[in-house]
Structure 1
Amino acid sequence: MAFPVISSDYCAPYAINLQINTKTGFTYDANNACRFYIEDKLFTLHKRRVLCDNQGNPIVTLYKKRMTLHGRCQVFRGYKSKDFSQLLFSVKRSSMIPSGMVNLEVFLANNQRESACDFRVNV
């Protein structure tokens, strides 16, 4: 069963390959059309980034947690929100050892025990 975590506005009935330009913070599709961008290219003093759609609408705010071994990040709905009622999910690296492939564990907001991740992303 599939369901949107953020919004159905950003869902498609087919796979879309996206390429992220890490220098500019812009994300492009296969037709070289901008789909998303990061408002704060580098994590700010508050360790915050805002993901916006190509119209400039803020989608989610990402906060990188300080002093974690797994590089944990919390993702909230909306613009610069840190209200835990708006928490969508948390992400952490599944391995503390840097390697060529990054494995991320994603925990949805209702999975507060985090005894098992809800899904994994391999990058």
Structure 2
Amino acid sequence: MKVPEWAYGVPPVTIVGQNYCTPHPLELIVKKKIKKLSSAQFEVFDLTGNLLLQVDGGVWNFQLKRVLRDPAGFPILTLRGKVLTLWHKWEAHASERTDGNNNALFTVKQSHPLQIKKEINIFLANNFKKKEPDFHITGAYTSLSFKVYEGRRLIAEVKHNFTLESFCKGKEKYRVKVYPEVDYAFIVALLVILDENDTP
């Protein structure tokens, strides 16, 4: 049975904050610009061109650090990744603090270190020690496009608009469809993590 795109009574997905959920489907454009070898900037716009989120950061001490900010530059979420492991594990912390797991909102890691198909699991703060993930991502290694699920419920779709010209210029673009009452800041954070994992 196919799950409808929008159904009344479906519980909201609120991870970063309720103010990042909308009662209707939301289309986003995410632009990535490579500033230097170890740093890339992301900007998130709605279809009318309004800046909604921005992401900065780079590689420090063999760890990736990305900070998700609001349009005014205020930090919302900090993403830290250890990519020099088979599992490519990431943690997301509120604001710019990363002092242990006390304020960690979620962790992201591959379902298996050796994969034929892209399978990523997301565990919320109260579920770090359990085996069943709260969310999962599926996609192909031949593409940066992917889908995000809560169980069997599709909550977001990300399409990577790749062209050789844009890649050579250090500029890439994603189109993101976020389903109603789904935290789009959470989806953007997942996009940044997967982009980092897939970038050599």
1:109 to 109, 119, 125: 125
Residue type of the alignment partner of 1:22:
K
With structure 2 as the length reference, what TM-score do the two structures score? 0.53
Deviations 1:74-119 (A, max 9, x none): 00111142331101000123354376xx442110011122311111
Higher strand share: 2
Whether contact under 8 Å (2:28, 2:46) holds in the other structure is yes
Paired residues of 2:107 and 2:125 also in contact (CA < 8 A): yes
In structure 1, C-alpha distance between the alignment counterparts of 2:82 and 2:48, rounded to whole Å:
35
Greater mean deviation of Cα atoms: 5-14 or 90-99: 90-99
1:119 and 2:135 matched: yes
Per the alignment, residue 25 of structure 1 pairs with 42
Identify the residue that residue 71 of structure 2 maps to in structure 1.
Answer: 54
Q: Structure 1 residues 18-27 or 104-113, which shifts more?
A: 18-27
Q: Which runs of 5+ in 2 are unaligned?
A: 1-10, 34-40, 139-145, 147-200
**Paired residue for 2:51?**
34
**Displacement after TM superposition at 1:70 (Å):** 2.7
Indicate the structure with greater helix content.
2
Query: 1:97 aligns to what?
Result: 115
SS in 1 for 2:102: helix
Q: How many residues align?
A: 120
- C-alpha distance in structure 1 between counterparts of 2:97 and 2:56, whole Å: 11
Q: Distance in 2 between matches of 1:117 and 1:88?
A: 14
2:64/2:80 contact within 8 Å kept: yes
Q: For residue 6 of structure 1, what is the aligned residue in structure 2?
A: 16
Deviation by residue 1:19-68 (Cα, 9 ceiling, x = unmatched): 2212131111211221111121x333342111001121111100002432
Q: What SS does the aligned partner of 1:60 have?
A: strand
